[in-house]
Amino acid sequence: MTLVPFIGLLIGGLIGWKKSGEHFLKQVDIVTSVVLVLLMLTIGANIGANDSVMLKLDKIGLHCAVIALCAVFFSILGVVLLERTILPLDELQKQISLGDICLAAEEGAAGEKEKPASALVWTMPVSIIAGIILGFRFFTGADTGFLDHMLIGILILLYIGVGINIGSNREVYHYIKLVGFRVVYISIAILAGSLMGGFAAGMTLGVPLEAAVISASGMSYYSLTGAYMTEVYGIETGTYGFIVNVMREFLTIVTLPLLIKISKGSPIASGGAGNMDTTLMPITKFVGAELGLITFITGTILTLAVPFILPILHSIL
C-alpha cells in the first residue's frame, strides 16, 4: 500500500501533463466528483457497520475538534511569525501588480466558485450520513470485506485524479515565479504548524500519534486523508482523518472575521489545502484580490503535497 499513492500520482501526472485540455479536465472533474461521493458513502458505511466506532462517535468527535483547533492555532502561529520576520504580507500585497496577476487571482476565485466542487460542500456530508445509515441498517455485524476492497479501488482512482490535477496545473509555477519563491514559506509554515498541532493534541488527549498527527497533516483535504487513513489504519482512525479536516474547513469559514483581525496571513493559514477551492472565495473577500493570489498558490501547493505527506508520515509513525 505504501507505493500505491506514488504510482497513482505518477500515472495521473503523466496523463495530466499530456492531456490538459479544458474538455478533458471537465470530464475528469465529473468522474472525480462521482468517486468522491462513492468514497463518502463507503467511509460512512464502514462507520455505521462498526459498533465500536458508533459507540465512541461522540468521544471521537470531541477529540477531532481539539485536533482541528490545535492544527489551526499552530498554523496561524507559524504564519504570523513568518509575517513579522522574513515575509511581511502587507509589503508583498503592495508589490503585487494590480494588473494581470491580480486579475488572475480574481478569475481563479470566480472559476472555483463555478466548479462542481462547490456543490460537493453539501454533497459530501449528506453522502457520509447516508453511508452511516446504510452501514448501520444493513451491514452491522456483517462481513464488510467488500467495502475494504471498494475503498482500495476508490483510493487508487482518487490518487490518479489528484495526479492529473498536478500534471495539468502548470500555471501555479508561473504565479510562484511572478510573486517570488518566498511565497512557498507560507505553505511550509502551515504544514509545520499542522504537524505541531496534531502532535500537541495527541499528547494532551492521549490519542495515538498516527491518528492525531496524520489527520492534522491533511490540512482540510478531508476526502483523501480520510480514505488513506481508513485503508492503512482501519475505520476508527480513518474517521479522525475525515472529521478533523471537515472541522478545520468549517472553522476557517465561520471564524474569518476574527482571523483577519489577527493578521492578513491568519485566514490563509487556517484554510490550508482548502485554499485551492472551497475556502478560496471567502478568504479572498477578506484579504483582497492581491493576497487572494497568495491564497490560491498556498492552497495548491498544500493540496499537491498532502498525497505525498500521508504515506511518508505513515512510514514514520
Measured distance CA(23)–CA(315) in Å, rounded: 38
Q: What confidence score (pLDDT) does residue 101 get?
A: 53
State which amino acid sits at residue 51: D
Mean of the per-residue pLDDT values of the chain: 84
Residues 6 or more apart whose Cβ sits within 8 Å of residue 201: 63, 66, 67, 69, 70, 71, 207, 212, 216
Report if residue 113 sits inside a domain.
Answer: yes
Residue count of the chain: 317
Residues 6 or more apart whose Cβ sits within 8 Å of residue 150: 38, 42
Q: What confidence score (pLDDT) does residue 114 get?
A: 44
Q: What is the average per-residue pLDDT within 200-205?
A: 96
Measured distance CA(108)–CA(123) in Å, rounded: 22
Instruction: Specify the residue for cell string 490560491.
Output: 296
Better-scored residue on pLDDT, 93 or 71 = 71
Report if residue 13 sits inside a domain.
Answer: no
pLDDT class for 105, splitting at 50, 70, 90?
very low
List pLDDT tens digits, range 150-183: 888 888 888 888 788 778 776 666 667 767 788 8
Q: Is the pLDDT of residue 194 over 90?
A: yes
List pLDDT tens digits, range 21-48: 778 888 888 888 888 888 888 888 888 8
164-179 CB burial, b ≥16 within 10 A, e <16: bbbbbbeebeebbeeb
Report if residue 10 sits inside a domain.
Answer: no
Report if residue 5 sits inside a domain.
Answer: no
How many domains does the chain divide into?
Answer: 1
What is the DSSP annotation of 185-206? HHHHHHHHHHHHHHHHHHHHHT
What is the DSSP annotation of 239-306? HHHHHHHHHHHHHHHHTHHHHHHH-TTHHHHHHGGGGGTTTHHHHHHHH-HHHHHHHHHHHHHHHHHH
| Cβ atoms < 10 Å from Cβ of 107 | 11
Better-scored residue on pLDDT, 228 or 139 = 228
Percentage of the chain exceeding pLDDT 90: 38
What is the residue range of 181's domain?
A: 22-316
Measured distance CA(296)–CA(172) in Å, rounded: 8
Q: Is the pLDDT of residue 115 over 50?
A: no
List pLDDT tens digits, range 249-308: 889 988 999 999 999 999 999 999 988 877 887 888 888 877 888 888 899 899 989 999
Report if residue 16 sits inside a domain.
Answer: no
| Cβ atoms < 10 Å from Cβ of 15 | 18
Report if residue 96 sits inside a domain.
Answer: yes
> Could you give phi then psi for residue 20, rounded to 5 degrees?
-120, 25
Q: Is the pLDDT of residue 104 over 50?
A: no
Q: What confidence score (pLDDT) does residue 81 get?
A: 96
Residues 6 or more apart whose Cβ sits within 8 Å of residue 100: none
List pLDDT tens digits, range 51-80: 878 888 899 999 999 999 999 999 999 999
Residues 6 or more apart whose Cβ sits within 8 Å of residue 27: none
Report if residue 73 sits inside a domain.
Answer: yes
Report if residue 279 sits inside a domain.
Answer: yes
